Structure 1
Amino acid sequence: MARRRGSGGALLLGLAVLGGLFGLGKGSDPPKTSLPTTPVQTAYALQPVSTQVTPTAPLYTRASTAATSSAEPTRLVVSGHDVSLRSGPGPKTKILDRLRQGSEVLELERETGWVKVRHPVTGTDGWVKASLVRSKDSAAAEAPHKARKEIPPPKAPMVATSVIVARLLAESRASYPGNCACPDDVDKRGHRCGARSAYSRPGGYAPLCYPRDVTAEMIAEYRKTQTASVQ
């Protein structure tokens, strides 16, 4: 019995020591380090933001446009027919193309009696005689006068020969003062004139009664008179 109690006491003593060790770990808190209470100052100060926008220079200015337009070539108009566009300023140089009358070209350069131009369709550069081109403004000013000169004068309508003959016969009968100018006419009593007509009696009036009486000279004279009246 004494041994059992001795061994039990030792056991209890060991448990108590272990319990004390664990209890110290749970109940004790680690020491707390106090932090400084001084406020931290920021290194950067807030500055007010400006809302004003600074204008910047435009990418493109009108000066460049004006310079381009001022360098535009002069426009010319071809006044000749099928003008030769040559490789150089001379009549023996190679013919590159031909320009129709009225075509517009761009003037590039001038030499004595020759102008270097650019073809309006193909874009080919070549030389033409200066006398065969003129400025566009002068060509436009001369166009109405040239058009008026080219208008032909009105022509008298061509009258058929048969119509002229009929008119001459009618005028000849109307100019006779009586009723019996021709054999086929009728007198006041309604009788045919026949041999009593002025046409059948020699001397005096000689009216034109039949187409055979109208000569070619009469027809030509009549046409000339009508043409003069129209003009």
Structure 2
Amino acid sequence: MAYIRNLVAFAVILIASTWDDPSRIAAQTAGVSDEKTIAITAPATADMLRVTGSRVNVRREPSINAGVLTTYTRGRLVPVLRTRGAWSEIHMGDSANSTGWIASRLLSTRSPAQAPTTQIRQRSVSVPSSREITAARKDLISLSIAAYQGSCPCPYNRDRAGRRCGGRSAWSRPGGASPICYDSDVTEARLQTYFARQRRATF
């Protein structure tokens, strides 16, 4: 019996030695879990600004000669911790002490401006009045006669001797020059071209 009692006691001691304090195990487990799940967040006092450049370098120090840590693209929201001269220190978010520097001119409180939309200016073209059309016909006739090099462009003109041109005029003879002599000679196409030139001269 003594042998059996000694054997049972030895077994109890052996089992107890393999146990651990449950509270200590929980604490250790919680510590490991907390270490893995800590979320690195920006300080509450940081100002949130947006990157306005297309590709902006984040540097180690506030200097153009400092090394580049990474590059941010347009529109990225970054927490700004402080400014020094023309530079802003930002929190990069991947660790509690991970910071970098960006030129302050490349940060803004507003979203990056969109590319400007090209707007075509629509010109309102008024329809010529009957009075303007009549004046245009007379102007076209005068210009046509002035451009003719001879002395008899139209039947109602007179030659150098003072005689009425009549059938001897360029207008009356087929082929050759074709001066505009009458309102009926002014076509719709000529009027449109005339008013188009007038509008270009106005704008």
Q: TM-score range by the shorter chain?
A: 0.3 to 0.5
Question: Which has the greater radius of gyration?
Answer: 1
* TM-score, normalised via structure 2 length: 0.38
* TM-score, normalised via structure 1 length: 0.35
